[in-house]
Structure 1
């Protein structure tokens, strides 16, 4: 199973949607709550090339993007392969 990391904020509907999709795929992502900012927010900005919206999702260190990007991968039939790697 792939290593999945997701940066989220409290009460973020897009974060919830991404987490639900990942849970439906049988995964347990490592979640980093950046609601209050701090070093994890700075880490997210550096890893994502400056993307400041949440969620920001990484699969095996590869930046996937946000909730819409994750859903698009699933619709295209490409998410399962990424998660199984």
Structure 2
């Protein structure tokens, strides 16, 4: 059984993708990029430290959900039902 319910995983994935899109929209607005325009290669270099870290954390969380590792303790490897 996965560490978190599929319905919870689906909702988390949805919220994380929305948070990522919102953050990129804010950065695009600040840097003058148009809606729908792909981020410039150097976009991450232009982000403030907080925004860059937040994007990284969101991407890591999305990756964990995709790999089925969400809800597993990174220190001991145990899930909530163990």
Bigger fraction of residues in strand:
1
Greater percentage in helix? 2
Report which structure shows greater RCO (CA 8 Å, sep ≥6): 2
Larger of the two Rg values belongs to structure: 2
TM-score after normalising by structure 1: 0.26
Please give the TM-score of this superposition, normalised by the length of structure 2: 0.26
